[in-house]
Amino acid sequence: MSELYAVRRGRLRDRCAAAGSAAALVSRPANVRYLAGGAPPGAVLLLGPDEDVLVCPRTPVADPADGRPDEQLRTTALPEPDGDTVVAAAGMAAAAGAESLAVEEHHLTVARHRALGSVAPRLRLGDLAGAVEQLRIVKDEEEIACLRIAAEITDQALGELLESILVGRTERHLALELERRLVDHGADGAAFPTSVATGPNSGLRRHRPSDRRVEEGDFLSVRLGANYRGYRCEIGRTFVIGTTPADWQIELYDVVFAAQRAGREALVPGAEYREVDRAARQVLAAAGHGEGLAPRTGHGVGLEMEEDPQLAPGTMGKLDACVPVTVEPGVHLPGRGGVRIDDTLVVRPEADGGPELLTITTKELLAL
Amino acid sequence: MSELYAVRRGRLRDRCAAAGSAAALVSRPANVRYLAGGAPPGAVLLLGPDEDVLVCPRTPVADPADGRPDEQLRTTALPEPDGDTVVAAAGMAAAAGAESLAVEEHHLTVARHRALGSVAPRLRLGDLAGAVEQLRIVKDEEEIACLRIAAEITDQALGELLESILVGRTERHLALELERRLVDHGADGAAFPTSVATGPNSGLRRHRPSDRRVEEGDFLSVRLGANYRGYRCEIGRTFVIGTTPADWQIELYDVVFAAQRAGREALVPGAEYREVDRAARQVLAAAGHGEGLAPRTGHGVGLEMEEDPQLAPGTMGKLDACVPVTVEPGVHLPGRGGVRIDDTLVVRPEADGGPELLTITTKELLAL
């Protein structure tokens, strides 16, 4: 396992060297974790010039969910209680004779960047940009195994909710119960705030649970996911409450279901990101729901919830095998409600059976 | 109510003008909310030169917990789905003829700052630094009323837990139950991740709940708080489980209790931040627990959990009336456990009865 992190760091070092930088400073938490195996909050990773060092705050918070740093990696803690790990790491790079240091300009604040410049004025600061995020897009089988377990936990939590009585309970309580069940089944926590939306709220992207109670005839849409060892998946489903669904509910559900299937079927290695988005979007548009759609149909998942790639009209790039993504189209009709259907899948070649569906809860329209 | 936000913005505008900047761009979420009354995620506030504008993303997420923007404030949403509100606001400032713009360099990333520079190359960019954070330290009575309600909710949630059976339940489940009770009693959510620590984990600063179960004879320490309309308080208590506490438990509890009382009693307008810290710290040191203490004894609370002031040895500054702070000393003995006692109080002059205790759950050592 430890070898894995050294390999990842080696890959990043090669990229830096090619860009003319002998050392790199990784500060974005998910990137630090990806390269170090685990890290307390506030830790940063200095790559080279001579060796790699994980620079931790003086009093790290103990948390098993943060993982354990790679044992091959040198780890150091700052002597001062409020020391800045970024500044300390830059000082170490300068002391080790580095002339240039690539930093994550999309994560570092202007104020920290300036502090870093003044502690090591001779260091030429470059931009690491999204180099680590790029490495993170294609997952190895150990990462996919974590996502698979996260999805199993998520399916279990959702399955149990469906067996309970829903009418009369509030969105907030259902959301809290789903989060408790995620933890019951072994999650390190929820991957993101669980969304439960009923009646006119249903189908809203990222609706935050309110005190509205579930009523007969409502659409109920839920969106949840487990965090397992740092890896996060997501599922979204829409149900109908009570008796038989109304005609408009069946029609709307069928359209979103068809759009989601089209998106899933477009997940082949080599497909452009925007093709996947278009596949789902055009089904919604053809049914007259082209306006007011979410800006994207899905996104990558992993150590963060909304990683690259972005499945959206304006995104350039092509899918690779072993990239986990969500496919999550939805339609919301103001005042009435709506439908969202959301899966996490891993892109696989057709020879391997096509996309691997991680979230397996049924997508039939259940009347609960 | 709306007048209030205009007054706050007026104060900030005066500060900017004094520093030679005709316009300011506020991007840190809590600062935006403080000045705008409420704001969707990703919104930024442009102050001047002619008028103030809240610049929102195209598809803001509806969430009552984010509050409603001040109706006197002009609000605009970006046309593009993935537009950058910071860049758009800078463009608006330049179009309105501003020559200089103060930005929050401690919040803006290097990459966004650069994007801002290229969209408005003639704009002279300055640093707003912590100007809004400084304004936020002293609270008005409406803010204190929100904190008081947050504290009442927190006391209720904790009180109910104390009436239930604890032995055999895991830290995780107790934490989830506390969070559910916070919401039951009207919180918009937990102010921060609830910490429940048992046995050898007790007394650890920010321990994250594990699968360890409560056992007879354990110390049990909890730390929780409600978020009410954006305002966050915190309470921390330590209990002993089952029979009579052991001698070492009583002794340790008495020391931390005395330290916490000393800290509370030091909360008078005009007291230096570090005096309050020293008052608590020296009680712990005199009892032989001076090593390995947390870097600070308390901190401000409000729209964020760990606001200024910092009650720590190295912090310069003096307390004012109407500043809410925590006083939260603790000692952890590795392998055995420890004690933390944590209150939220508002600094008040002696003539008004001295510090106002918001979190009123008893601090006797309860054996549960």
Same-domain pairing of A335 and A290:
yes
Smallest CA–CA separation between A145 and chain B, in Å?
Answer: 22
Say which of B61, B106, B295 has its CB closest to residue A109: B106
- Cβ density class B122-154: b for 16+ within 10 Å, e for less: ebebbbbebbbbebbbbbeeebbebbbbbbbbb
Measured between beta carbons, the chain B residues lying within 8 angstroms of A103 are 110
Whether B365 maps to a domain, the answer reads no
A68 in B contact zone (CB under 8 Å): no
A182 token code pair: 């995620």
Same domain, B86 and B188: no
Q: What is the CATH number of the domain that holds A67?
A: 3.40.350.10
* Res B49 pLDDT > 90: no
C-alpha to C-alpha distance for A349 and A168, rounded to whole angstroms: 46
Would you call B179 an interface residue with chain A, using a CB distance cutoff of 8 Å? yes
pLDDT of A62 strictly over 80: no
Give the B window 129-168 contacts with A, CB below 8 Å: none
Between CA A264 and CA A23 the distance in angstroms is: 41
Of all residues in chain A, the percent with pLDDT exceeding 70 is: 98
Share of chain A above pLDDT 90, in %: 78
Write the pLDDT tens digit of every residue in B79-88: 887 789 999 9
Per-residue model confidence (pLDDT) at position B24: 96
Out of B59, B62, B172, closest to residue A207 by CB: B62
Report if residue B362 sits inside a domain. Answer: no
Instruction: Inform me whether the pLDDT recorded for A318 exceeds 80.
Output: yes
Choose the final residue of a domain: B116, B135, B154.
B135
Q: What integer pLDDT is reported at residue A18 of this predicted model?
A: 85
| B155 and B234 inside one domain | yes
Cβ neighbours of B64 in A, within 8 Å = 208, 210
A209 and A110 inside one domain: no
pLDDT at residue B61 greater than cutoff 60: no
CB contact under 8 A, A61 and B208: yes
Q: Same domain for B129 and B270?
A: no
Q: Which two tokens stand for residue B278?
A: 């020293």
The whole-angstrom distance between A316's CA and the closest CA on chain B is 14
Split into its structural domains, chain A has a count of 2
Inter-chain contact A208–B114, Cβ cutoff 8 Å?
Answer: no
Query: Measured between CB atoms, does B64 come within 8 Å of chain A?
Result: yes
- How far is it, in rounded angstroms, from Cα A245 to Cα A218? 9
CB contacts, 8 Å: B127 with chain A = 110-111
B109·A108 Cβ contact <8 A: yes
Interface test with chain B among A107, A109, A172, by most B beta carbons within 10 Å: A109
Structure tokens at B189: 């959510």
The pLDDT score that the predictor gives to residue A257 is 98
Regarding whether A154 and A222 lie in a shared domain, the answer is yes
Measuring CA to CA, which residue among B290, B233, B234 is closest to residue B259? B290
Q: With bands split at pLDDT 50, 70 and 90, how would you rate the model's confidence at A69?
A: confident
Shortest Cα distance, chain B CAs vs residue A351, angstroms: 36
pLDDT band at residue B40 using 50, 70 and 90 as cut-offs: confident
Minimal C-alpha gap between B272 and chain A (Å): 19
- Each residue of B303-342: pLDDT tens digit? 999 899 999 999 999 999 999 999 999 999 999 999 999 9
Same domain, B286 and B186: yes
Residues B93 and B25 in one domain: yes
C-beta pairs of A136-139 under 8 Å, 24+ apart in sequence: A136/A30, A136/A31, A136/A34, A136/A302, A136/A303, A136/A307, A136/A308, A137/A300, A137/A307, A137/A308, A137/A309, A137/A320, A137/A323, A138/A320, A138/A321, A138/A322, A138/A323, A139/A302, A139/A322, A139/A323, A139/A324, A139/A346
Question: Does residue B335 lie in a domain region?
Answer: yes
- A211-238 pLDDT, tens per residue? 899 999 999 999 999 999 999 999 999 9
**Number of C-beta neighbours around residue A248 at 10 A:** 11
Q: Give me the pLDDT at residue B35, please.
A: 96
- Point out the residue among B107, B179, B294 whose CB comes nearest to the CB of A109: B107
The enclosing domain of B165 has a CATH number of 3.90.230.10
Q: What percent of chain B has pLDDT over 90?
A: 78
Inter-chain contact A206–B106, Cβ cutoff 8 Å? no
Residue B60 lies in a domain: yes
What band does A71 get if pLDDT is binned at 50, 70 and 90? Answer: confident
* A205 neighbourhood in chain B, CB within 8 Å: 59, 61
Whether the pLDDT of residue A1 is over 60: the answer is no
Does B115 lie at the interface with A, CB-CB under 8 angstroms? Answer: no
Q: How many CA atoms lie within 13 A of A171 on its CB side?
A: 25
Contact A180 B183 (CB under 8 A): no
Do B110 and A110 count as a contact with CB atoms less than 8 A apart?
A: yes
pLDDT band with cut points at 50, 70 and 90 for residue A59: low
- Give me A365's structure tokens: 């329209």
Nearest CA distance, B254 vs chain A (angstrom): 25
| Structural contact between residues B162 and B240, judged by C-beta atoms closer than 8 angstroms | no
pLDDT at B62: 55
Q: Is A58 on the interface with B (CB under 8 A)?
A: yes
B314 plus B337 within the same structural domain: yes
Q: Is A41 on the interface with B (CB under 8 A)?
A: no
B64/A210 touch (CB, cutoff 8 Å), yes or no: yes
**Option in B108, B109, B176 nearest A180 (CB):** B176
Query: How confident is the prediction for chain A on average, in pLDDT?
Result: 93
- Domain check: are A153 and A70 in the same one? no
**Count helices and strands in chain B by DSSP H and E runs:** 9, 19
Host domain of residue B181: 138-357
Boundary (domain end) residue, out of A119, A135, A151:
A135
pLDDT value for B41: 87
pLDDT number for residue B71: 87
Q: Is B113 an 8 Å CB contact of chain A? A: yes
In sequence order, the β-bridge partners of residue B299 are B310
ipTM: 0.83
pLDDT digits (tens, 9 = 90+) for A74-128: 999 988 877 899 999 999 999 999 999 999 999 999 999 999 989 989 999 999 9
Q: Which chain B residues are closer than 8 Å to A64 by Cβ?
A: 208, 210
Closest CB to B106 among A111, A172, A180: A111
Does residue B183 lie in a domain region? yes
Beta-carbon separation of A65 and B172 below 8 A: no
Chain A residues with CB-CB distance to B207 below 8 A = 61-62
* Closest chain A C-alpha to B162 CA, distance in angstroms: 20
Q: Does B110 contact A at CB distance below 8 Å?
A: yes
- Report if residue A367 sits inside a domain: no
Smallest CA–CA distance, residue A106 to chain B, in Å, is 5
Tell me if A194 is assigned to some domain: yes
Q: Looking at residue B60, what is its pLDDT? A: 57
Q: Is B67 exposed, middle or buried (0-12, 13-18, 19+ CB in 10 A)?
A: middle
Q: At A206, is the pLDDT very low, low, confident or very high (cuts 50, 70, 90)?
A: confident
Query: In chain A, which residues have their Cβ closer than 8 Å to the Cβ of B110?
Result: 103, 105-106, 108-110, 113, 127
**CB-count burial class (<10 Å; 0-12, 13-18, 19+) for A276:** buried
Q: Do residues A184 and A58 share a domain?
A: no
For the cut 90, the answer to whether the pLDDT of residue B205 exceeds it is no
Q: What is the pLDDT of residue A64?
A: 61
The count of residues in chain B is 368
In a domain, A123, yes or no: yes
Q: Which residue has the higher pLDDT, B266 or B180?
A: B266
In this structure, of A21-25, A47-51, A142-146, B95-99, the range with the lowest mean pLDDT score is: A47-51
Neighbouring C-alpha atoms within 13 Å toward the C-beta of B339:
23
DSSP alpha helix (H) spans, chain B = 2-18, 29-36, 85-95, 110-119, 131-137, 141-162, 171-184, 247-265, 273-286
Distance from chain centroid for Cα B240: 28
Identify whether residues B179 and B243 lie together within a single domain: yes
Residue that finishes a domain, picked among B100, B135, B170: B135
